[in-house]
Amino acid sequence: MNSKSTSLTYRDAGVDIDAGDALVDRIKPLARRTMRPEVLAGIGGFGALCGLPKGMVDPILVSGTDGVGTKLRLAFGLDRHETVGIDLVAMSVNDILVQGAEPLFFLDYFACGRLSIDTATAVVSGIASGCEASGCALIGGETAEMPGMYPDGEYDLAGFAVGVVERAQILDGRKVAADDVVLGLASSGFHSNGYSLVRAVLARHFGEITRAALSSVALESSPGSGLTATLDDLVMAPTRLYVKPVLSALRAHPGQIHALAHITGGGLIGNIPRVLPAHLMVRLDAGAWPLPAVMSFIQSEGQIAGDEMHRVFNCGIGMVVVVPKEAAEAVAASLTAAGERVYRIGEVLARPINSAQTVIS
């Protein structure tokens, strides 16, 4: 038979429309749980509609976008897809939180070569969980099945968050002053940064990175907890969502939080200067907070220098909060009451000419 006379379908070309429709049906109830009163129309339309919260005087929209990075390579290899959706949300909403914004809505982009409904549902379930935990509505997104673009079993993710803040309450670092105190909020692990180095160390140690290999190692799950978890759980732990505790502290202590810094790519060294005036610096006391056991393991096995750790990883601090000295105790108490582990990790100083803006000693 002449192959040219055979009728082809989109499924023959590698795109399963029925699977895509089935995924949307699974996603809708997940997204429904995240809805806010401002949402007018969400998943299913060509565009999602969302109003602004009532009662705001001069609302400013704040937007952010991010992905999960090479942590996805571990998700594929370990067949662990339930937490990367939380990572996707956290990386964007934590970013816009830094400017004092409350996240309003989130959109996701899921791209794959061949759509697995179960895998995609696991990922989107994590996205919905992250949105729920941060008070953010999942109102839309895109699932793209693109044969030949990705190997079977692999996918990529992108996320987009939009939030709102009163113009008068925007945090831009202008209030930061010498003698301010630097508080650190504990991370849940590596979050979604530095995984190219993490994977290189794991490959050196184990050879092949498998769930069986990583589950053979148990480490303390969080500093001082006395509890243990396997290495596969620790490296796949989702990024911590700081939205609700930090927004609560901002409302409880108006004007007393001078700056926030989300510790993402670039680590402590690279991210704190992003919210500092050029004439100021921070000095951090490396002994003021513990390095998580999983990070100690990676540092030891990879023989990674301390400076490199601080430049690549969050080293146990996922969010930095800069406050005036007289408010430090009260703000720390509010954040602790909201469930955060809070450390007093340093201070703001006048910056000598040509010196670094973050010094860790």
Condensed to tens digits (0 to 9), the pLDDT of residues 181-222 reads 999 999 999 999 999 999 999 999 999 999 999 999 999 999
Give every CB contact of residue 65 below 8 A, 6+ residues apart in sequence.
Answer: 92, 158, 159, 160, 161
DSSP 3-state of 116: coil
Residue 157: band (very low, low, confident or very high) from pLDDT cuts 50, 70, 90: very high
Residue 242 domain flag: yes
Q: Are 52 and 37 in contact (CB under 8 A)?
A: no
Give every CB contact of residue 286 below 8 A, 6+ residues apart in sequence.
Answer: 306, 360, 361
Give the mean model confidence (pLDDT) for residues 152-164. 96
Residue 1: band (very low, low, confident or very high) from pLDDT cuts 50, 70, 90: very low
Same-domain pairing of 54 and 28: yes
Same-domain pairing of 69 and 30: yes
Residue 37 domain flag: yes
Q: Are 268 and 275 in contact (CB under 8 A)?
A: no
Residue 1 domain flag: no
Same-domain pairing of 164 and 186: no
Same-domain pairing of 22 and 156: yes
Same-domain pairing of 124 and 15: yes
Report the largest interatomic distance among the alpha carbons of the chain, rounded to a whole angstrom: 84
Q: Are 184 and 270 in contact (CB under 8 A)?
A: no
Residue 174 domain flag: no
Same-domain pairing of 131 and 211: no
Condensed to tens digits (0 to 9), the pLDDT of residues 166-179 reads 999 999 999 999 99
Residue 121 belongs to a domain with what CATH number? 3.30.1330.10
* Structural domain for 19, as ranges: 8-169
Condensed to tens digits (0 to 9), the pLDDT of residues 30-86 reads 878 888 888 887 666 778 888 999 999 999 999 999 999 999 999 999 999 999 999
How many alpha carbons fall within 13 Å on the CB side of residue 43?
27
Amino acid 14: pLDDT: 77
Q: Which of 103, 134, 169 is the last residue of a domain?
A: 169
Same-domain pairing of 202 and 321: yes
- Number of helices (H), then strands (E), in the chain: 12, 14
The distance from CA 91 to its chain's CA centroid, rounded to whole angstroms, is 3
Same-domain pairing of 149 and 196: no
DSSP label at 78?
Answer: H
Residue 175 domain flag: no
Residue 218 belongs to a domain with what CATH number? 3.90.650.10
Q: Based on the structure, what is the number of domains in the chain?
A: 2
Amino acid 42: pLDDT: 66
Among 325, 289, 346, which residue's Cα sits nearest to residue 180? 325
Q: Which of 122, 146, 169 is the last residue of a domain?
A: 169
Residue 176 domain flag: no
Condensed to tens digits (0 to 9), the pLDDT of residues 84-124 reads 999 999 999 999 999 999 999 999 999 999 999 999 999 99
Residue 75 domain flag: yes
Sign of CA pseudo-dihedral 226, 211, 127, 68 = positive
Question: 307-343 in b/e burial notation, b at 16+ Cβ within 10 A?
Answer: ebbbbbbbbbbbbbbbbbeebbeebbebbeebebbbb
Same-domain pairing of 162 and 202: no
Partners of residue 220 on adjacent β-strands: 228
Residue 3 domain flag: no
Q: How far apart are CA 337 and CA 253, in angstroms?
A: 14
Same-domain pairing of 83 and 156: yes
